A and B are shown apart, each in its own frame.
Chain A
Amino acid sequence: MPALFFVIGKVLMTKFNFTVVALKNLKRKPFRTGVLVFAISLLVSLIIFSLSFIASVSSSIKKASDRLGADLIVVPIGARGYAEAFLLESKKAEFYMNKNLIDRVKKIEGIEALTYQIYLSTIGGVCCDVEATRIIAFDQESDFIVKPWLKKAIGRGLNKGEAIAGYETNFNLGVELLDLETTIFHNKFKVVGVLEKTGTALDNALVMTEENIKDIVGSGKSPINEGQISLIFTKVKKGFDPYEVGRTVEGNIVEVDVVARSDMGKEILGTLKDINKIFLLSIVLSSILAVFLVWAIFSAIANERSREVGIMRAVGANESHIVKLFIIEVFFIGLAGSLIGLAVGTSVSLSLARGFKLLKNISASLTVLQQAEIAVAGLLIGIIICIAGALMPINRIKKLEPLLAIKEE
């Protein structure tokens, strides 16, 4: 970064112009300039981190629920929260209901298609030779959730005794899983590939077909019994309101709860709103502090330079020249602070994301466009705050009569 500024400075300073004067002014008090740049960089770091956090969590939840590919999720009664925790945050959750509920759901008017999944968590110990992880078993025949990803990864379905690793699972388990023979609940599985990043629970799971579950149940080590499933994904026919269909399902089958796709993650988003408020308050307070700091420093600068400004006015500078000169200085402080803040804020977000449970489980990620928007917002806010703080002192000094400014010394 300093090297970049050096090169930019050299290029800008080849001809005598306002930028040269502004940069020389900044160079004359390096400590003071450094303090301002540091203050702005702290503020921008906070803004970048806050915006990244909020945006990544919100968009990850939306992405995850959108990519589920189902309009309604039918779960055992009381298991709505567990299901969301598993699907959105990849949290360990074991909830089961009777498989024969599938036929009852199928009969509800407005249901176009459905498929089911079974969730398990492996346990450390002699039964399994991989670290504790989630297992998703799906019905290959009716499935419309896993197949598109599977096709992309290996171009075919899974056979008995085969599993495929989710994108994150490959790293989380700390072993290179591909073509590895692994033992889960005393059953041997061959890991035949790794799925692309899906932004859903698949990322943090080992995925296999339902027919393997029978063998796992037979081992007696898993919490599941035969004839049990975790949840049912349903698609709603065109022209039917998913909420209405969901209410009908709940009204007809008392053993289940229904979650609509658009309601997924409501609890997390609610918590996020509170975190959002805390971040907003911190940003507002920090911004006020930064504006005050810039104002105080530029008031001192304006007093110090009143004679120089008087000389410039006497040799022909008008008020807008003086404003331009100071604004360029402030702009460079804002730009340098914002760029440093951008780098620091991004590093902090990335390093905290690794240790932050919510971000880690959600496998939060931002698109390039979102990252660019956050970067631009951070840069603009940093520069605008700098200019806002300096405006009053600049306005005062530009109005000084040249001779009075000169004689003030």
Chain B
Amino acid sequence: MPQIEIAELTKIYSVDRSVITAADNISLKIEKGEFISIVGHSGSGKTTLLSLIGGIIRPTSGRVLYEGTDICSLGDEKLSEYRNEKIGFMFQFASLLPILTAKENVLLPGLFGSQKNMTNERKAMEFLEMVGIGDRANAYPSQLSGGQQRRVAIARALMNEPDVILADEPTGDLDEETEAEIMELFKELNREKKVTFVFITHSLDLAKQAGKQLRMSRGKLAVSEAEPLCAPAL
């Protein structure tokens, strides 16, 4: 069974009086441990597809199955639990809460989790150390650079040790050096912890580093396979 199976997925937005089909009858299977990139022009529906997989929007029609369970049929509580426990989300913008410190931002998914873990604080520090900003744990987002904020967002996405990380242009506004470091971190997590990665990028170079490359155009999906970076788990 694939980890994620998308079947005839369609998402239509009504904006003013016009109708926009952001995802048009998409079907896709994602195996556990895959490393997937999505490319496409602005407005091609990449973010919509990622949001549908992540359960942060509901489709107009079609299904998203996670390990056989249709997440589109889940109620608010179960769907939130899915987002909290199975998915780590990274947005294309700085998505940290400005009133919280870096460590508190990382702790945020733990706050909403069903298991209140006493070791959360230690875990958050470990992830901050892992992304290289352990010394800025008590800094507020306004005191961090763009790259540091991205790293905090990565640590937050990892906090609940999700099975899948969905990243919307995770290195969008970063310098080349930081971008390379972050991609290396992703690959390491993918390799060592078998975390499935689906990330959107405008950079073809980055896209090529993925085992599977998806191209979105006007809501439709095209798939091209590349040499996988790690073998899918069986």
Interface residues in chain A, defined as those with a beta carbon under 8 Å from any beta carbon in chain B: 16-18, 20-21, 24-25, 27-28, 308, 311-321, 401-404, 406
Contact = CB atoms under 8 A, between A and B. Distances in A.
Contacts of B84: 315-317
A18 B107 CA distance: 11
B80 A318 contact: yes
B104 interface: yes
Contact of A403 (B56, B81, B113, B160): B56
Contacts of A308: 97
Given A28-B98, A314-B89, A316-B160, 20 more contacts: A16-B103, A16-B121, A24-B100, A27-B99, A311-B97, A312-B97, A312-B112, A314-B54, A315-B108, A315-B112, A316-B81, A318-B76, A318-B79, A318-B81, A318-B112, A319-B76, A401-B58, A402-B57, A403-B51, A406-B91
B166 to A, nearest CB: 10
Interface of B: 47, 51, 54, 56-58, 76-77, 79-81, 83-85, 89, 91, 95, 97-100, 103-104, 107-109, 111-113, 120-121, 156, 160
A316 B56 contact: no
Nearest to A16: B107
A130 B51 CA distance: 88
A21 B80 contact: no
A401 B58 CA distance: 9
B113 A316 contact: yes
Nearest to A15: B121
A318 B83 CA distance: 10
A303 to B, nearest CB: 16
26 contacts: A17-B111, A18-B111, A20-B104, A21-B99, A24-B99, A25-B99, A312-B97, A312-B108, A314-B91, A315-B84, A316-B84, A316-B85, A316-B160, A317-B84, A318-B76, A318-B79, A318-B112, A319-B76, A319-B80, A320-B77, A321-B80, A321-B112, A401-B56, A403-B51, A403-B56, A403-B57
A313 B79 CA distance: 10
A145 B4 CA distance: 90
Contact of A316 (B57, B95, B103, B109): B109
Give chain B's interface secondary structure class: helix
Given A16-B121, A28-B99, A317 B112 contact: yes
A401 B89 CA distance: 15
A25 B98 CA distance: 10
A25 B97 CA distance: 10
B100 to A, nearest CB: 7
A244 B160 CA distance: 82
B90 to A, nearest CB: 10
A16 B111 contact: yes
Given A16-B104, A28-B99, A403-B51, A316 B112 contact: yes
Contacts of A321: 80, 111-112
A87 B85 CA distance: 74
Contacts of B113: 316
A317 B104 CA distance: 15
A317 B54 CA distance: 13
Nearest to B156: A315
Contacts of B160: 316
A311 B100 CA distance: 13
Contact of B77 (A17, A21, A312, A318): A318
A321 B91 CA distance: 21
A317 B57 contact: no
Nearest to A25: B99
A128 to B, nearest CB: 71
Nearest to B86: A316
Contacts of A27: 99
Contacts of B47: 403
A404 B57 contact: yes
A402 B112 contact: no
In the A-B complex, the 4 residue pairs with the smallest Cβ-Cβ separation, listed nearest first, are A316-B84, A318-B80, A402-B56, A316-B112
A316 B80 contact: yes
Contacts of B79: 318
Contacts of A20: 104
Contacts of A314: 54, 56, 83, 89, 91, 95
A315 B85 CA distance: 9
A316 B83 contact: yes
Contacts of B51: 402-403
A314 B90 CA distance: 9
